[in-house]
């Protein structure tokens, strides 16, 4: 396959070793959708700059949409093409379809600003999905915490039993860690929200491109401010890898805790069979392989971060081929964190807490020694002296093979005469917990308050539990893309490119909880008679809370205000729409424009959707 850079060379090497060493298509094919989206936006920018005619723009957009279908339906066609990289593949395929016009698309553009834009778009989509997976893991921990508010568990420092806690409190510690991970990932999106396209190879483009308009068309807040920096910046990759390294740190600590808790020596929890394996030799073994792999995979994410930092160290401006090394490790790190979060969810779902064993361990570790010191401190014994007295009492009890609370009052009063019969209440595990009645501590109501607050935050519920449905803006595009692509993979709707969503963002609405997009839908107007509700979807973890109904009601009201006579939905859940006043209609009654769109559906010849119509006049 011809390269994009051959004009300077009298002959282009066909050395197989160098091609394998140099070519990036085997991994950057994952940028195909983003490259096509950015190419569609660039074509529009070229048309606005007078480089392309409207007819040329239409042909380019049509060919690019065809390529998008190839990417979704037959990615093997890309990988077997022999192209140098994803940009070469897109251009060569365009030339096959529309001739020299395909070559014209690269006017004023470099692979340098092209890949910088593609990678930012990919990172943004990846982060949105990772945020969703982190929230799912948090919900699993919160659900477990709700079950075990009253389960007493040994708390540790230095892997020595320290003070009793509630197992729910342990769960909520990891909810807090993941919450910081969420905030860091959100910062990644905010920090990279500028579009490099139009920066050229390093000095900008010689064509009158409106870069602000171009940036907005791709869902960015604005364009990058310096072309040298734009094509050579990989800070956002390093920032993402750093954030992912911390996610894996937290997952590794989580895994290590549960590996120990599930060991024969502890026996505080039992792991589900679906995340454990046995031994080929020892039939009694139940190994925590899923958790060990989470712990082990931490290293590869750390390696990706160190590798990227090393690649960028002392790299001169602007673009250098070294920067091709940014993708493989990044893709692998994102995939690794994603699968570890999914396995974490499975671990939590199958986890059984052995409450009796955990409580017994909390009792046996003299974890109430601090309570004896606090008891004396409340009787005006200086804490340092009280601490010493409690230590001597523990030494005596240990020599007797007894817990502190099993010592007689006479034995305890040997250590200090102010110890009275009320000490036994202070030494009980329940008292140990309830005495810690400050914000963030283990008293029962404090733990319950933490669970309620975290549940609202993680589920995107403000204090008013208010659901907000509003018109979408370009800032909602990444979340809409992620949501639509999720349900497209599930076969529930058609995939939509980012460029398509950006160009029709005025058709979309979003449902938000606490500022987080949890659902989306669009109203596509065919003519003055009829419009269709499209791309209706809610993240699985938010279903059942009324978002779907709220969005359909919102779009139906919009249709009424516009004066439309019919609102159509092609759906696999007719009962849902029937409850909202829709009635079944025959597909043959639909306008040709509606049926024309069906040609892009993979289920065209085996359609399982029901056509349903809502009539504003009848509903009034």
Instruction: Judge if 96 and 125 occupy the same domain.
Output: no
CA distance 555 to 569: 11
Domain carrying residue 51:
15-107
Q: pLDDT digits over 452-481, tens only?
A: 999 888 876 644 456 789 999 888 888 899
For strand 516-525 and strand 530-538, is the pairing parallel, antiparallel, or unpaired?
A: antiparallel
| Cα–chain center distance at 529 | 40
Residue 7 lies in a domain: no
Helix (H, G, I), strand (E, B) or coil at 281: coil
**Residue located via tokens 């568990």:** 153
Tell me, yes or no, if 428 is annotated catalytic. no
pLDDT at 367: 75
Provide the number of structural domains found in the chain.
4
Give me the pLDDT at residue 286, please.
82
Pair (180, 320) in one structural domain: yes
| 221 and 159 in a common domain | yes
Residues 260 and 300 in one domain: yes
Residues of the chain with pLDDT under 70: 1-14, 279-281, 283-285, 460-466, 587-608, 618-620
The residue assigned the tokens 């093997």 is: 76
For residue 587, the model assigns a pLDDT of: 65
CB neighbour list of residue 384: distance below 8 Å, 6 or more residues apart: none
**CATH number of residue 411's parent domain:** 1.10.40.30
Whether residue 329 is found in the same domain as residue 403? no
Question: What is residue 463's predicted lDDT score, i.e. its pLDDT?
Answer: 46
CATH number of the domain enclosing 554: 3.40.630.30
| Cα 103 to Cα 87: distance, rounded to the nearest angstrom | 12
Q: Regarding beta strands 566-571 and 610-614, do their DSSP bridges make them parallel or antiparallel, or are they unpaired?
A: antiparallel
Domain assignment present for 3: no
- pLDDT, residue 513, reads 79
CATH number, domain with residue 59: 1.10.275.10
Please check whether residues 175 and 227 belong to one and the same domain.
yes
Specify if 188 maps to a domain: yes
**pLDDT confidence of residue 177:** 97
Contact 439, 448 (CB under 8 A): no
Rounded Cα distance, 364 and 152, in Å: 13
Task: For 228-271, write each residue's pLDDT tens digit.
Answer: 999 999 999 999 999 999 999 999 999 999 999 999 999 999 99
Same domain, 399 and 490: no
Please indicate, yes or no, if residue 2 is contained in any of the structural domains: no
In a domain, 578, yes or no: yes
Instruction: Note whether 172 and 138 are within 8 A (CB).
Output: no
The residue annotated as part of the active site, out of 58, 279, 398, 470, is 279
**Residues 99, 120 within the same domain:** no
Angle (deg, nearest 10), helices 111-147 and 235-261: 30
Beta strands per DSSP E along 140-299: 152-157, 160-166, 194-195, 222-223, 269-270
- Is 439 part of any domain? no
CATH of the domain at 334: 1.20.200.10
Question: Residues with Cβ < 8 Å from 515, sequence gap 6 or more?
Answer: 460
Answer for the pair 197, 186: CB distance below 8 angstroms, yes or no: no
Q: Do the Cβ atoms of 344 and 177 come closer than 8 Å? A: no
457 in a structural domain:
no
Per-residue model confidence (pLDDT) at position 459: 78
Q: Is residue 460 part of a domain?
A: no
Contacts of 170 (CB under 8 A, 6+ apart): 153, 155, 257
DSSP three-state, residue 166: strand
DSSP string of 94-128, one letter each residue: HHHHHTTHHHHTTTT--HHHHHHHHHHHHHHHHHH
97 lies in the same domain as 148: no
Domain end: 73, 107, 141, which one?
A: 107
332 within 8 A of 215, measured Cβ to Cβ: no
Judgement on whether residues 76 and 154 belong to the same structural domain of the protein:
no
Any catalytic annotation for residue 158? yes
Write down the number of H helices and E strands in the chain: 27, 13
C-alpha angle 387/393/396, rounded to 5°? 145
Buried b (16+ CB within 10 A) or exposed e, 291-319: beebbebbeebbebbebbeebbeeeeebb
Cα separations in angstroms, 352 against 129, 409, 465: 28, 39, 31
Q: Among the three residues 338, 359, 380, which one is the final residue of a domain in this structure?
A: 359
Strands 516-525 and 508-513: antiparallel
Which domain-ending residue is among 327, 359, 391? 359
Based on the fold, state whether residues 399 and 540 are members of the same structural domain: no
Distance CA(64)–CA(53), nearest Å, equals: 16
Q: Do 570 and 600 fall within a single domain?
A: yes
Angle between helices 167-191 and 444-458 (to 10 degrees): 30
């Amino acid at each position: 396959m011809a390269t994009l850079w051959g004009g300077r060379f009298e002959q282009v090497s066909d050395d197989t070793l160098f091609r394998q060493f140099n070519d990036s298509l085997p991994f950057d094919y994952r940028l195909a959708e983003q490259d096509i989206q950015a190419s569609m936006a660039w074509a529009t920018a070229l048309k606005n700059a007078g480089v392309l005619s409207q007819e040329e723009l239409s042909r380019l957009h049509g060919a690019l949409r065809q390529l998008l279908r190839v990417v979704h339906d037959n990615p093997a066609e890309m990988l077997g093409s022999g192209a140098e990289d994803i940009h070469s593949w897109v251009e060569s395929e365009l030339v096959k379809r529309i001739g020299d016009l395909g070559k014209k698309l690269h006017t004023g553009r470099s692979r340098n600003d092209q890949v910088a834009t593609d990678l930012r778009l990919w990172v943004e989509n990846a982060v949105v999905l990772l945020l969703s997976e982190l929230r799912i893991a948090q919900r699993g921990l919160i659900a477990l915490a709700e079950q075990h508010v009253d389960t007493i568990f040994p708390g540790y420092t230095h892997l020595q039993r320290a003070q009793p806690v509630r197992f729910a409190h342990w769960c909520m510690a990891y909810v807090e860690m993941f919450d910081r991970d969420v905030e860091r990932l959100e910062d990644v999106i905010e920090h990279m929200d500028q579009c490099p396209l139009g920066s050229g190879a390093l000095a900008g483009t010689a064509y009158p491109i409106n870069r602000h308009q171009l940036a907005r068309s791709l869902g960015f807040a604005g364009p990058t401010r310096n072309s040298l920096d734009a094509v050579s910046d990989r800070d956002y990759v390093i920032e993402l890898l750093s954030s992912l390294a911390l996610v894996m740190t937290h997952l590794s600590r989580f895994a290590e805790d549960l590996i120990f808790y599930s060991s024969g020596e502890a026996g505080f929890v039992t792991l589900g069979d679906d995340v454990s394996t046995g031994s080929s030799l020892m039939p009694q073994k139940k190994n925590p392989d899923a958790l060990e792999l989470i712990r082990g995979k931490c290293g590869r994410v750390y390696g990706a971060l160190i590798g990227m930092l090393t690649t960028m160290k002392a790299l001169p401006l602007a673009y250098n081929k070294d920067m091709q090394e940014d993708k493989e490790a990044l893709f692998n790190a994102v995939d690794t964190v994603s699968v570890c979060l999914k396995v974490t969810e499975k671990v939590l779902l199958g986890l059984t807490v052995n409450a009796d064993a955990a409580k017994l361990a909390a009792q046996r570790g003299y974890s109430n020694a601090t309570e004896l010191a606090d008891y004396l401190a409340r009787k005006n014994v200086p804490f340092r002296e009280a601490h010493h007295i409690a230590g001597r009492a523990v030494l005596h009890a240990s020599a007797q093979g007894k817990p502190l609370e099993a010592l007689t009052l006479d034995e305890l009063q040997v250590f200090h005469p102010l110890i009275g019969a009320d000490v036994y209440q202070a030494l009980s595990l329940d008292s140990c917990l309830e005495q810690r009645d400050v914000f963030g501590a283990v008293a029962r109501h404090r733990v319950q308050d933490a669970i309620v607050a975290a549940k609202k935050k993680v589920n995107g519920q403000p204090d008013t539990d208010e659901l907000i449905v509003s018109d979408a803006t370009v800032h909602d595009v990444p979340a809409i893309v992620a949501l639509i692509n999720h349900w497209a993979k599930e076969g529930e709707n058609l995939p939509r490119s980012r460029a398509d969503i950006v160009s029709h963002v005025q058709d979309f609405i979003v449902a938000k909880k606490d500022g987080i997009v949890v659902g989306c839908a669009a109203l596509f107007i065919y003519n003055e008679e009829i419009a269709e509700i499209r791309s209706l979807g809610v993240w699985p973890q938010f279903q059942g809370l009324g978002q779907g109904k709220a969005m359909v009601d919102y779009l139906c009201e919009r249709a009424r205000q516009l004066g439309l006579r019919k609102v159509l939905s092609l759906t696999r859940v007719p009962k849902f729409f029937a409850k909202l006043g829709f009635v079944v209609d025959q597909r043959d009654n639909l306008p040709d424009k509606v049926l024309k769109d069906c040609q892009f559906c993979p289920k065209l010849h085996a359609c399982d959707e029901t056509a349903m119509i809502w009539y504003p006049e009848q509903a009034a």
